[in-house]
Amino acid sequence: MQAAKPLFDYPKYWAECFGPAPFLPMSREEMDTLGWDSCDIIIVTGDAYVDHPSFGMAIIGRLLEAQGFRVGIIAQPDWRSKDDFMKLGQPNLFFGVAAGNMDSMINRYTADKKIRSDDAYTPGGLAGKRPDRASLVYSQRCKEAYSNVPVVLGGIEASLRRIAHYDYWQDKVRRSILMDATADILLYGNAERAVVEIAQRLAFGENIENITDIRGTAFIRRDAPQGWFEVDSTRIDRPGRVDKIINPYVNTQDTAACAIEQEKGAHEAEDPNEAKVVQLLSHPRLERDKTVIRLPSFEKVRNDPVLYAHANRVLHLETNPGNARALVQKHGEVDVWFNPPPIPMTTEEMDYVFGMPYARVPHPAYGKEKIPAYDMIRFSVNIMRGCFGGCTFCSITEHEGRIIQNRSHDSIIREIEEMRDKVPGFTGVVSDLGGPTANMYRIACKDPEIERHCRKPSCVFPGICENLNTDHSSLIELYRKARALPGVKKILIASGLRYDLAVESPEYVKELVTHHVGGYLKIAPEHTERGPLDKMMKPGIGSYDRFKQMFEKYSKEAGKEQYLIPYFIAAHPGTTDEDMMNLALWLKRNGFRADQVQAFYPSPMATATAMYHSGKNPLRKVSYKSDSVEIVKSEQQRRLHKAFLRYHDPKGWPMLREALQRMGRADLIGNGKHQLIPTFQPATDEYQSARRKNSTPAGSKKVGKQAAKPLLTQHTGLPPRSHDGNPWEKREQAKAAAEARRRGAAGGKPAGKGKPGKRPVAPR
């Protein structure tokens, strides 16, 4: 992998003399206070401005500020006119536009395409502060405000929509967002390198149209560049023309060499027995960095779902920065060109980015209004980026890459100390030390050369790669250093845990379970059946069982009562009704009651989304005759799969009874211990979900305030509660209590009340 210029080696822009701002300005008044007459760069974002390294606008803004540029922020502007986009004046270099930390459509709509009632990235949690396809709308407004100012598009929405992509909300393939947004260039993935390079080159007077050589960028071009070799990948299942075998020593792009070959062929036809002299011609090696793969055009993939799956497969095969080639896709009369992914940041660069002078709080303009997303992460620390899991339903790999980028121990410890000393409300509890995955810190391929050439989409599927170093010792050492800090009482791990990696290090599991679990630990087996798990690229349920055994063993040794909270997905591609039935039976056997369940959400560009749209599996070679994938699209079947996950909710029983009878599994309907749902329906719906229990009743005087009662978890069965809303369980509890009283009255050991928060256990 080629070396990249370090982020801290660029010359500083002249405006460095102003120094860092307490907050990047959001108004002309703040600019006047700082002594600025204008902004060099203005960042437009769909999120509220929180000066914290978990928010994209803060990272990019502070990084550009460190390069010497004056950076302003326009957060959640009114997109209905250009006025808000002009409030900081015209930027000297460019507008940087992003939808925010989430794709705006996922932020605004549920998996059932219903408008969400809240927005975690908005003050007060209010919904409706950003438009649909915010990147597109903001870019157009910036051009309307100042048509001569370049617009640089970035963020996760731009990353996932950079290519012709299936749009779940319109149920069609949309063209690259770059075509609709009228932006000048698009940055995808972790964009620190690209945005600094663009800012520096624009500051030196270079035209944005000439900046076409930066990794991690996409742009529109009309003419193919000179000196590039194009690989045609626009068709599948169609044999090409068989050409005459060419002398392997000949550079076929050299017309003079081709002419010599043709002349030799003519002589051979005249006298085939005559001895010939082999000519060794100069043949410059064809470099991958001068090769571009032509994908099927937008018009083709829009009308042909199988071609769409093929394009998706090619895209995902070209994601390793060590060997990825450029891609190009025709949209009408122009090409959208995608340079290879950015070079991952080094540990020194990660420390540099996270060591900026963040205020770590929301901008003062929001006053005392709460921003839910900030409240969730304000006492957490991001220790790494990237994920090599490759889960097909997830967009982390597409955006951050599968090569882990790590911070140093010293940098992480300094941030914890700064959080302890500066962030209001810190009580000594660090809510998370993690990232996209809790336990991939400093885990990488054993050999950089192998890593550079690897084209596998996952390092842990179908099993852990033999070349992957699964050593957790550095992470264990970090945990110990962090919890030894003065003023730190507890370090919790809230990021998703890759349990199939964790079981490779029993010492890590013991360290985690003994010191860093706050009663519950969230993990995501996602399913129990091999069919959907293979389409997700997730390990089998056996890995979960091994981790559960270790978790319970070390919890017992530590004298702690702790529980695993498993998460599952309904209606994922590759899932049949029988798969969901088997999952429901597994949940019941293990005593799990999932109240909030997630149905598969087809996010742009994900591999599982390509399965959903095409019915083909891009994890294997795609053809018109390749095996089809089971797809759950109808609203009725999606409801059925969610009902299987919530087998304990009487509202879903009529649907489940009908489905079980249709599937020939009426034996699962009944009141027995091993049956899934009862034969009778309650006269009234006495079941109430945990979310409803946690809510304040309508009309209550406590609306808008924290209720005094304790909050419940997603899984009402963990730990067991005597106040669950299931009438049949209450009946069993009442029987057990009566039996306990009877034995006590008969001279047996009386039933005690037990520990607080636990229900009495019925004698056997």
Q: Residues comprising the binding site for [4Fe-4S] cluster?
A: 387, 391, 394
SS3 content of the chain, % helix, strand, coil (to 5): 35, 10, 50
| Residues 509, 514, 519: CA angle, nearest 5 degrees | 100
Question: Which residue, among 189, 227, 230, 225, has the nearest Cα to 210 in the 3D structure?
Answer: 225
Residue in the block written with tokens 């400093």 = 442
Q: Residue 159 CB: number of other CB atoms within 10 A?
A: 27
Report how far residue 28's alpha carbon sits from residue 25's, in angstroms, rounded to the nearest whole number: 8
Contact 310, 622 (CB under 8 A): yes
Report how far residue 203's alpha carbon sits from residue 161's, in angstroms, rounded to the nearest whole number: 28
Contact 345, 190 (CB under 8 A): yes
Report how far residue 321's alpha carbon sits from residue 301's, in angstroms, rounded to the nearest whole number: 25
Q: Residue 38 CB: number of other CB atoms within 10 A?
A: 14
- DSSP state at residue 221: E
Cα distances (angstroms) measured from residue 288 to each of 1, 96, 322: 11, 30, 10
Question: Which residue, among 94, 98, 96, has the nearest Cα to 202 in the 3D structure?
Answer: 94
Q: Residue 454 CB: number of other CB atoms within 10 A?
A: 19
Residue in the block written with tokens 């063209």 = 175
Report the SS3 class of residue 548: helix
Number of H helices, E strands in the chain: 26, 21
Token pair for residue 752? 């005690």
Token pair for residue 27? 């108004």
Element housing 96 (H / E): strand 94-98
The bridge status of strand 185-187 relative to strand 151-153 is: parallel
DSSP 449-473: HHHHH---S-SSSSS--TTB----H
Report how far residue 571's alpha carbon sits from residue 576's, in angstroms, rounded to the nearest whole number: 8
Q: How many CA atoms lie within 13 A of 594 on its CB side?
A: 29
Token pair for residue 238? 């169609």
| Residues 474, 479, 481: CA angle, nearest 5 degrees | 95
Residue in the block written with tokens 């959400």 = 601
